[in-house]
Structure 1
Amino acid sequence: MAALIVAAGRGLRAGGDLPKQYRALAGRPVLAQALTPFLADAAIDHVMVVIGPGDNARYAHAVADLPTGKLLSPAQGGATRQDSVRLGLQALAATGFDGIVLVHDAARPFVTAALMRRTVDALQSEIAAIPALPVTDTIKRLGSDGRVAETPPRDTLVSVQTPQGFHFKALLAAHEAAVAAGLSGFTDDAALMEWAGHPVKTFPGDPANVKLTHPQDFDRSQGAPLHVRVATGYDVHAFGDGDHVWLGGTRIAHDRGVVAHSDGDVALHALTDALLGALTEGDIGTHFPPSDPQWKDAASAQFLAFAAERVRQRGGRIDFLDLTIVCEAPKIGPHREAIRAAIAAAAAIRIDQVAIKATTSERMGFTGRGEGLAALATATIRLPEPE
């Protein structure tokens, strides 16, 4: 699966000195915020951005703090969105890619993992699928004289969003056929697929997934004042048979394993509890009870991703995650940066928002006796306060 992020436009209607995708929103470039959920999603193998001419330095600055493991070199866009998507698809094809592609507008920085998952789910039985919202305003179609020519029934209308999902080869073929036919001006890829004769499935979109278009959109998107919340999490696991432990989403070789229902990652469990505590939404056992067999041997990164997504769904943001791991062994230092990167990816935040410390208990207590390991976490988030 690949994500193609379209960021080649000039965004003149949004005002400012920069194209809107490179402007700062809540202290981060819009493009960086749009990219983060795609880079964090384990199901997406490659992410490519289509940029405009002369935007290489702006692009490099926007992605400087993002994990780059799956981020391909940017493709150069064209004069229209249709041209840019086609050029991006051709660049993906040149890498040998063939699968599912999600096409997303960089000017939609509030895309969530849940919406991405709905896109992918819809493609299990469809060749093209797009998020749609019911139209709440009455829509008029105007004639050439500026007078109303028609009022379509509102219950047959929807507005559509991105990411839009497609089978890659079908979308690329449709784009290339449109160019061969001399057709341009398609404003989204679903319209082009309709022209090519493919059915397009709709599924529920997300009202919060707005597209930044006008200057006031940046003002509105700053939202209500956010208030700081800080909470802690704590977890322990006893050692048992095995040859490795999971810590912070990283597999570390060890002469013992841990006794646990899931993968026993005390670091991610503590961080998950810290975020859930800041949200006042219970703890990890509330949402992922060990009595439920579906969580047997489950990767704990999904627990942290769930809690981080809950912060975003409530209009908040994660400022900082701080973690202390307590054990005599294994040594954490050699794995510190890998753990920070894995936590940042799971929580869809920058790596400089993650701190990790390790200590022993001076051979006192259960950790000192080598009976297990523990983790303490602190999460700092900001949330809109309820009215």
Structure 2
Amino acid sequence: MSFSAIIVAAGTGARAGEAKQWRGLGGRPVLRWSAEALLSAGASELAVVVAPGAEALAADALSGLEGWFAVAGGATRAASVQAGLDALTAPADARVLIHDAARPFLDAATIGRVLAALEQHEAALPVLPVADSLRRGVDGSLGESVDRDGLWRAQTPQGFRLETIRRAYAAWPDGASPTDDVEVARAAGRTVAMVAGDTRLMKLTYPEDFAMAEALIPRQTRVGQGFDAHRWGPGTSVWLCGVEIAHDQTLIGHSDADAGLHALTDAILGAMGDGDIGDHFPPTDPQWKGAASDRFLTHAVERLAARGGRLVNVDVTLICERPKVKPHRQAMRERLADLLSLPLDAVSVKATTTEAMGFTGRGEGLAAQALATIELTGS
């Protein structure tokens, strides 16, 4: 199913409040979603049209992908498409798909339908029927209804034979702004076939569209658990769950020995399958001597966010005879909620004893265990 492709990603995203093609969506830049889809579907060459000077942004967004190259766009979408078409090296009769970067949820089935239509048609695009009733607005007031029979919502990618769309754009009037590429083809007298679109192939236009897009991404729910223990030694205070508590002893460790935060860090890393705290912060490394353990926890949360995941809730249990945890439990919950950007009711801190049994019961040390529930993008 060899074909060439163009992604138009040169816009400024004025209505979205920022250049949306670089914005993160499910842990990946918006642009990367459709680039991966087109390359995975068999695109032999992919021209990514970006604003002049944005080539480095594209390289960062598409790092690790092969088969694409950046093209500097023009002042209008039509000029950007033409720049992409001029950069393709495929033969004149090659199939080419032109796609908007702002439609990230492109799938192989939609690509296949458009390509299949090009076997018998000069151009094709995915469409959806208009389901909502339509009204005209007059000075902020409701006007007459519009008959929706025969009306369709146009999507991308829109497909053509390469030479067909090149000639159509060459004939397009200078200064005119087509709504999309099939309008250019129709103006040149070409017949355009319609194939079934996909409701998930929404165009990100306004800031609120990103929240809807995030909700559409399939996610896995995972649970990780962590455990940590430290022995008691001479001192005047102890750190537990990010809160310093006055005490006649302290916990001994390479960092500040906050067993609660260590267990919770391991729980988050474990839920991701991302090793443990010792892999990321080796106790043999002198830079972590006396370090505040909230740095470890923040690191785990940042790694989760980088993978498009989010933390749902955490539950920490401290196991010790002393100090008494209950007077400090609320402060611990509030500190964890702040570090993890979670609502307070998604953070639990509990304490228990071992009824004077074992190393915690004998006052030799303190232990902590933690559970973390996360959501990761994926099916």
CA apart distance, 1:170: 0.9
Report the aligned-residue RMSD: 2.9
Answer yes or no: is the 8 Å Cα contact 2:129–2:153 preserved in 1.
yes
Q: 3-state SS of the aligned residue for 2:134?
A: coil
User: What is the match of residue 132 of structure 2?
Assistant: 137
Q: Deviations over 1:297-333 (max 9, x none)?
A: xxxxxxxxxxxxxxxxxxxxxx99xxxxxxxxxxxxx
Would you say the 8 A contact 2:105–2:201 is kept in 1?
yes
**Aligned counterparts of 2:192 and 2:142: Cα–Cα separation in 1:** 29
What is the total number of aligned residue pairs between the two structures? 230
Cα distance change on mapping 1:186 and 1:228 into 2, 3 Å: same
Cα distance in 2, alignment partners of residues 96 and 123 from structure 1:
15
Relative distance call for 1:21 and 1:97 in structure 2 (3 A) is: farther
Deviation of 1:86 after TM superposition, in Å, equals 1.0
> For 1:117-196, what aligned pairs fall within 5 Å after superposition?
117-141=112-136, 151-178=145-172, 181-196=173-188
Supply the AA of the counterpart residue of 2:70: P
TM-score of the two chains, using structure 2 as the length reference: 0.56
Measure the CA separation in 2 of the matches of 1:112 and 1:215. Answer: 23
With over 3 angstroms needed to count, the CA separation of the structure-2 counterparts of 1:97 and 1:29, relative to structure 1, is farther
Aligned residue for 2:8?
6
- 1:227 Cα deviation after fit: 2.9
State the alpha-carbon separation in 1 of the partners of residues 11 and 208 from structure 2: 19
Q: What are the ranges of 5 or more consecutive residues in structure 2 without an aligned counterpart?
A: 224-271, 274-306, 308-374
Choose the corresponding residue for 1:90, options 82, 86, 93.
86
- Specify the alignment match of 1:197 in structure 2: 189
Q: Are the structure 2 counterparts of residues 59 and 148 from structure 1 closer, same or farther at C-alpha, using a change threshold of 3 Å? A: same
Question: Does the 8 Å contact 1:81/1:187 carry over to 2?
Answer: no
Deviation at 1:14, TM superposition (A): 1.1
Residue 103 (structure 2) pairs with residue 75 (structure 1): no
SS at match of 1:156: coil
1:148-192 per-residue CA deviation (whole Å, 9 max, x = no partner) reads 7764321210101001111111101010111xx325210200111
| Distance in structure 2 (CA, Å) of the matches to 1:54 and 1:112 | 29
SS at match of 1:111: coil
TM-score (norm 1): 0.54
Q: 2: distance between equivalents of 1:165 and 1:150?
A: 35
* In 1, Cα distance between equivalents of 2:222 and 2:45: 34
% same residue: 41
* Inter-partner Cα distance in structure 2 for 1:80 and 1:150: 33
Question: Is contact 2:26–2:377 with CA below 8 Å preserved after alignment?
Answer: no
Alignment correspondent of 1:226? 219
Amino acid at match of 2:4: A
Question: Is 2:19 aligned against 1:23?
Answer: no
Match of 2:106 among 106, 111, 116: 111
The list of structure 1 runs, each at least 4 consecutive aligned residues, that deviate by more than 4 angstroms after superposition, is: 95-98, 145-150, 380-384
Contact 2:127 2:197 in 1 (8 A): yes
| 1:141 to 1:197, Cα distance in 2 relative to 1, 3 A | farther
Q: How far apart in 1 are the matches of 2:40 and 2:115?
A: 15
Q: Cα gap change, 1:184/1:190 in structure 2, threshold over 3 Å: closer, same or farther?
A: same
Please say if residues 228 and 382 of structure 1, whose CA atoms lie closer than 8 Å, have aligned partners that are also in contact.
Answer: no
Cα gap change, 1:382 to 1:54, in 2 (>3 Å) = closer
Residues 126 and 197 of structure 2 are in contact (CA less than 8 Å); yes or no, is this contact kept in structure 1?
yes
Q: CA deviation at 1:142?
A: 5.6
Aligned CA distance change for structure 1 residues 97 and 24 (closer, same or farther; 3 Å): farther
For 1:81 and 1:226, locate their aligned partners in 2 and report how far apart those are by CA, in whole Å. Answer: 34
Say which structure is richer in strand.
2
Q: CA deviation at 1:92?
A: 1.4
Give the CA deviation at 1:202.
0.6
8 A contact 1:6–1:106 mirrored in 2: yes
Give 5+ residue unaligned stretches, structure 1. Answer: 231-318, 321-351, 353-379
Checking the alignment, whether the CA contact within 8 Å between 1:228 and 1:383 is kept in structure 2 is: no
